[in-house]
Amino acid sequence: MTEVLSGTSGVEAIRRRFSSLQQGFMFFDAPGGSQVPDEVGDAIARALREASANLGAGYATSHRVKAILEEAESKAARFLGCDPHEIVFGPNMSSLNFTLSRTAGREFEAGDEILVSSLDHDGGVAPWLELAHDRDLVVKSIELCDDTTLDYDDLASKLNSRTRVVAFAWASNAVGTIVDAARVCSMAHEAGALAWVDAVHYAAHEPIDVRAIDADVLICSPYKYCGPHLGVAYGRASVMETWRPYKVRPAPMNPLGRRFETGTQPYELLAGFNATIDYLDSIGGFDAIVPYERALGQRFVDGVSDAITIYGLPGMEGRVPTFLINVEGVPATEVAAKLAEQDMGVWAHDSWYSLGLYKRLGYDDAAVRLGFIHYNNVEEVDRLVGALEGLAS
């Protein structure tokens, strides 16, 4: 039976599926990675017990591995809105991004340009900087408006006939700001460039349809949405068919997406990924998740006083429920430590790996990042607000 994220009983039924949520600790660290329901861990363990093999053999464990992989490709395609042969798996987003950017860049010429966003996590920037270093390319950064939204006029001014890729984060892992992905993809294509999307943070909070935004490449990570540590990429078939992969020579070249997977896949984690998608379906999917999480975020915004600085957008419009804050008069590291003493998990950090963003936000040393995900409840949000206000006073 589908559980719906409405009312206390529905949320508590979902929370009971997580052993990690039964200890009394409150996890507000979803921007850095989510908790995992027990059924996902059970699926991983079962695969290790029953499907410890590789593809291509004629016995049962190999057949089970094949079934796990094909199911994972199918479920990833449904999650992202593409075809199974357009799915590429890897160890994490950063590794996939280095691999695919290097593959795409084989044919780039000296002086070609890559645009990245000042909102991006460095996992979406460093691969292009390294490629530029090796191939004598030019990397330019799309600027932000004062409220941390993307400056689309600046993007338009920097697009030209030498632009090969526009790479951007769909949602900021630091301040939660959402980018109009369809608009950026359209602008990239008008200039003849690839639209390359980092959806790691967005994928935990909003549904994805790569066809609707017309992306060429999109990468996300299941550990952000209650799954195992993996990277999942979509590549438009008509684009990937033109790429020459970095590949072990005897390995099969079909289906298309598998030719870009550099070695044996972690089939036990793919089994966990399959269980993750089943879990999300069972709670109502993003039709249930989005309004519930937005309500939690709004409750937080409405609850804090002016003693709590929220960087970036002031409300829930245009963002996911991720917040970068500071408490007046209290260093961020002390805030994180004091909250930990009250069984609340948040982080304090300087850049949040968003090297083009943090220096313009105005804090001196560090800020506290916190965020809500669908297994958080109203009581936790209220207790967090009370704890922050207590520190401020």
State residue 1's pLDDT score.
Answer: 35
State residue 7's pLDDT score.
Answer: 64
Percent of the chain with pLDDT over 90: 95
Nearest to 57 by CA among 66, 48, 68, 49: 66
Q: Do 181 and 206 touch, CB atoms closer than 8 A?
A: no
Q: For 194-213, write each residue's pLDDT tens digit.
A: 999 999 999 999 999 999 99
Band (289; pLDDT cuts 50, 70, 90): very high
Nearest to 367 by CA among 328, 330, 324, 337: 324
Strand partners, 196: 167, 217
Q: Is the peptide bond before 245 cis (omega within 30 degrees of 0)?
A: no
What type of residue sits at position 325? I
Q: Do 382 and 64 touch, CB atoms closer than 8 A?
A: no
Strand ranges (DSSP E) for 22-119? Answer: 26-27, 87-90, 113-117
What type of residue sits at position 111? G
CB atoms within 10 A of CB 261: 19
Residue 5: pLDDT above 90? no
CA atoms of 349 and 311, how far apart (whole Å)? 14
Burial of 95 (0-12, 13-18, 19+ CB in 10 A): middle
Q: Do 279 and 78 touch, CB atoms closer than 8 A?
A: no
CB atoms within 10 A of CB 341: 8
- 40 SS3 class: helix
CA atoms of 107 and 242, how far apart (whole Å)? 10
The DSSP element (H or E) to which 262 belongs, if any, is none
Residue 6: pLDDT above 80? no
What domains sit in the chain, N to C, each tagged with a CATH number?
7-18+283-392 (3.90.1150.10), 42-280 (3.40.640.10)
How many degrees, rounded to 5, is the angle at CA 204 between CA 200 and CA 208?
80
CA atoms of 252 and 300, how far apart (whole Å)? 51
What type of residue sits at position 171? A
Rounded to 10 degrees, the C-alpha dihedral 305/339/172/351 comes to 110
Backbone φ, ψ for residue 193 (5° rounding): -105, 160
Q: For 169-202, write each residue's pLDDT tens digit.
A: 999 999 999 999 999 999 999 999 999 999 999 9
Nearest to 115 by CA among 55, 44, 168: 168
Instruction: Give the mean pLDDT of 268-273.
Output: 98
How many degrees, rounded to 5, is the angle at CA 227 between CA 223 and CA 230?
55
CA atoms of 174 and 180, how far apart (whole Å)? 17
Band (249; pLDDT cuts 50, 70, 90): confident
Pairing of strands 231-235, 344-345: unpaired
DSSP string, 335-386: HHHHHHHTTEE-EEESSTT-TTTGGGS--SS-EEEEE--TT--HHHHHHHHH
